[in-house]
Chains A and B, each alone.
Chain A
């Protein structure tokens, strides 16, 4: 029987798992990360648009701060969010961006002076402040009052994941690639690690750890059409569920993204709309302002997705061999902007659709994108044991939290009370 011992076992090698590992290692604990694939191939790599943090460097972000970010997030959640956790998040997000900046992420930067952008279909000239020159830039995104999304050209996920992975390598954190945790090891309400299958040799190994963390991402592949990678099957969440002790929360909250390409489901970033792209129907009409006069294409994703489906149901979809779809029009952004700031979009259209988005409209239709649900934890990330077998020790603090599935659930071994 093969057993591997460590202090912290992390199931999942994407942004969350890697950062957790770096944190624990820095504090002197041994860490092992399990990943289905090389960490740099994790689904985190697909995040195109950017990461929100209230740095307020750009002129359209002036006046932004944690309070505004907090409000936007709570509203966006339709009040399903735990507001204590949201506060923790919005306060830490700027620190996260700045930490990554120090570690090497080449965030796009503000250039002082005038520049032209497209807002609501119109060309607008923005003037960036002198004192902002060289600081991290932000762009517009759906559901936000201020421009808050920090980005790296059009490959934010890639840049972040590679920097994070490289820093984990610098910390000498071992990643056991092509391994899969197929069950958690637990006894009397305490998690001791996992039974892990080596996907190359088929060997089963027991990994035993003081603390086990679940950072395995979402479960888009429950659906036929999803923007998610093939590996986004939710297995780490499922093995937590299978303990009979840990719980999952709000699993019915599934987000659909408005603009994956049709029919493949490959994501086209929200940044395409953030930068001024428009949605059009079979008549070429820009229909979103009729449904959402204030936010139009930049209402939150669930709202835009629903409006698009509603519009198709009214008979305004474009008919094709594979079904109906609508159009994303980014031609108005101009060739330079598209090839520069939306290059991944350009490439996806080129390779998977054989079209040129500087000239043509792109077929899109909403598809599954994000799993808001995940393992139930408290604000520290711990999964409390159920009270049915013996009284579980209360987690410190009085508030409880639910961290969404792209983050981390941490199976804390709880000693019996």
Chain B
């Protein structure tokens, strides 16, 4: 929802709103009896043993890499090469170096071998996972040859809606991979209530999506047609969304200047 940059105050709002909305949908899901759990204990046992084995390797494997060192190196690479100002050259280096760290992380050994509370063990299994996330960030940034919101490329400083009005989707197909697999989902300008334009701050220079003038014209038509209608009617026409909300959260919000009829 925040796309490529989040406004201050929206994150905290989003946590609560997401909790409200998903809470209802998750309850809907659980209400349906076809969603009852049907899983064999053998499968659960297998999952547990798989994880136990991985922890055993860390604790008893007598391997040689130091988890804290890998963690520090990862953070340095991210801070130096995947920061505010990004460049293809540095991003490529970061991807390369992070991959090497990921391989090394498969060879971590612990100095403190307790099986109970063990901060070093926690660092070890976490750095293995964090490196995958770091690669999603660095590799995604490398592939995105444009600038948008918080993602800024010195070598591609313009926003490019024609090529890049899409979402980066990353999966990690196999445990032996050292890179995520990326695909892209196109955003549909024709469904937007607000077609792409200038934010009002930052750079004014961007490449339009071919659909943008079309959709903009379409919206003008709708506005003309609905001239005089209230804002709700216009909004409904451009981007109907209310049915996407759980029923208990639909409904207009009253405010001082917008009381519901007969409520003054």
Complex Cα spacing A250 to B183, Å:
11
Number of A residues, CB within 8 Å of B: 164
Q: Are A244 and B172 in contact (CB under 8 A)?
A: yes
Question: Contact between B133 and A78 (Cβ–Cβ < 8 Å)?
Answer: no
Which of chain A's residues have a CB closer than 8 A to the CB of B243?
A: 397
Tell which of B24, B161, B253 has the most Cβ of chain A within 10 Å.
B253
Shortest C-beta distance, A59 to chain B (Å), equals: 10
Query: Of B6-14, B60-68, B103-111, B220-228, which binds chain A?
Result: B6-14
Name the one of A223, A366, A404 contacting B11, with C-beta atoms under 8 angstroms.
Answer: A404
Chain B residues with CB under 8 Å of A224's CB are 72, 75-76, 78-79
Contacting residues, chain B, for A165 (C-beta < 8 A): none
CB distance from A326 to the nearest CB of B (A): 13
Structural contact, A19 and B23, CB atoms closer than 8 A: yes
Complex CA gap A160/B11 in Å reads: 13
Which chain A residue lies CB-closest to B128? A238
Is A35's CB within 8 Å of the partner chain B?
no
| Contacts A241-B133, A250-B167, A251-B136; A20 near B249 (Cβ below 8 A) | no
- Does B255 lie within 8 Å of A55, measured CB to CB? yes
Chain B: CB-nearest residue to A413: B35
Judged by a CB distance under 8 angstroms, whether A335 is at the interface is no
A251–B131 alpha-carbon span in the complex (Å): 13
Complex: A362 Cα to B11 Cα, angstroms? 25
Q: How does the 8 Å CB contact mask read for A54-91 relative to B, with 1 for contact and 0 for none?
A: 11110000110111001111111111111111111101
User: When each residue 149-179 of chain B gets 1 if its CB lies under 8 Å from chain A and 0 otherwise, what string results?
Assistant: 1111000000101000101111111110000
11 examples of A-B residue contacts, CB within 8 angstroms: A79-B187, A81-B1, A83-B192, A91-B242, A202-B116, A242-B129, A250-B140, A368-B79, A407-B14, A407-B17, A408-B19
Q: Are B48 and A206 in contact (CB under 8 A)?
A: yes
Dominant secondary structure of chain A at its interface with chain B: mixed
Q: B residues within 8 A CB of A65?
A: 231, 253, 255, 258
Residues of B within 8 Å of A23, CB to CB, are 19-20, 22-24, 26-27
- The answer to whether A300 and B15 have CB atoms under 8 Å apart is no
| Contacting pair A80 B167 (CB below 8 A) | yes
Q: Is the CB of A7 within 8 A of B30?
A: yes
**Residue A261 is within 8 A (CB to CB) of chain B in the complex:** no
Given contact pairs A88-B245, A210-B35, A250-B140, A15 touches B4 in the complex (Cβ within 8 A): no
Report if A114 contacts B (CB, 8 A). Answer: no
Instruction: Scan residues 236-271 of chain A and give those whose CB is less than 8 A from a CB of chain B.
Output: 237-239, 241-242, 244-256, 270
Q: In whole Å, how far is B168's beta carbon from the nearest beta carbon of chain A?
A: 5
In this complex, the member of A27, A29, A96, A249 whose beta carbon has the largest number of chain B beta carbons within 10 angstroms is: A96
Separation of A389 and B165 alpha carbons in the complex (Å)? 29
Contact B201 A299 (CB under 8 A): yes
Residues of B within 8 A of A355 (CB): none
User: Contact residue range for chain B?
Assistant: 35 or more
B43 within 8 A of A: yes
A401 at the B interface (CB under 8 A): yes
Say yes or no: A302 contacts B150, CB within 8 Å: yes
The answer, yes or no, to whether A199 is at the interface (CB within 8 Å) is: yes
Q: Which residues of A contact B159 (CB under 8 A)?
A: 78
A253 with B149: in contact, given A182-B125, A235-B126, A303-B202 (CB under 8 Å)? yes
Q: Which of A119-127, A143-151, A314-322, A345-353 lies at the interface? A: A143-151
The A362-379 residues at the B interface (CB cut-off 8 A) are: 366, 368, 370, 372-373, 376, 379
The contact of A19 among B2, B6, B19, B47, by CB within 8 Å, is B19
Nearest B residue (CB) for A27: B27
Q: Are the CB atoms of A141 and B16 closer together than 8 Å?
A: no
A278 on interface, CB distance cutoff 8 Å: no
A254 CB contact (under 8 Å) in B10, B36, B137, B250 = B137
Q: Which chain B residues (126-147) contact chain A, with CB distance < 8 Å?
A: 126, 129-130, 132-134, 136-138, 140-141, 144
Q: CB within 8 Å of B: which of A403-417? A: 403-404, 406-408, 410, 412-413, 415
